[in-house]
Structure 1
Amino acid sequence: MYNSQLPTDGSQTPNGAPMGSRVSDFGQRVERHGNERIRLLLKSFGLRTSLIRLKVIDALLVAAENDRRLGVRGVHSQLLDLDIPLSFLSVREVLKRLCAEGVITFNADKSYSLHPQAAAVLNSD
């Protein structure tokens, strides 16, 4: 029987490696943020949920946890590394829109970070 979640090249998913998790540069498993938290964040700012918004915010959260700052190119590169094929222009436009709505801030070093009010919404759980 066909299963759309299994690879089509005949290879098997490694045992013990849950889908949606990645191994970081330091060999530690990095668990992805729950999309539900980000959905609630977007809703609290009056924004619709979209895959690109979820992924961009998640990329910024992961970077912040690793004490890194990402600009447009950094966010785009991180998404490509996760096999999320979004165009550079799409990422830039989403970052601009999230800034305009107050979800993220554009820093002096041309990086983006979560706005303190948005961080408070995420941490209110």
Structure 2
Amino acid sequence: MLFLVCLIGLAHAQSDSQPAFITEVFQKSGVWNIKADYIVIRETDNVQGFEIINQNPLIRTFKITPKTRIKLLKSAGEYFNATVQQLIQGRKGKDFGWMFDVYTPFYLKVNDKDRTVIEMTQMYLP
């Protein structure tokens, strides 16, 4: 019974990956943080094949910890583990193999309980 309660507690604390725009990367009291805006991505018949919808423009703030995994695209199918500095440089246009900018969505996996980022993965958009 105690084991089940612990599992239920973990399920509520940790979220599944959700698409989001990272609106800001900043440092506060020596700790890196991101501001994220969750989005919905739907398939369409337009030229791109998808559309990005932002029905709830609530901006959420999460801490980046030493355990946070930042995964940036090296090519269309290959990621590499990046640093916060590489994330910031990529948002400014530095090419690490698959360019992105401030408008590139990421998949975010967060711990809602302590407001930390577990993993952030650059979304592949052809």
Q: TM-score, normalised by structure 1?
A: 0.23
Structure with the larger strand share: 2
Structure-2-length-normalised TM-score: 0.23
Structure with the larger RCO, 1 or 2 (CA within 8 Å, 6+ apart): 2
Between structures 1 and 2, the one with greater helix share? 1
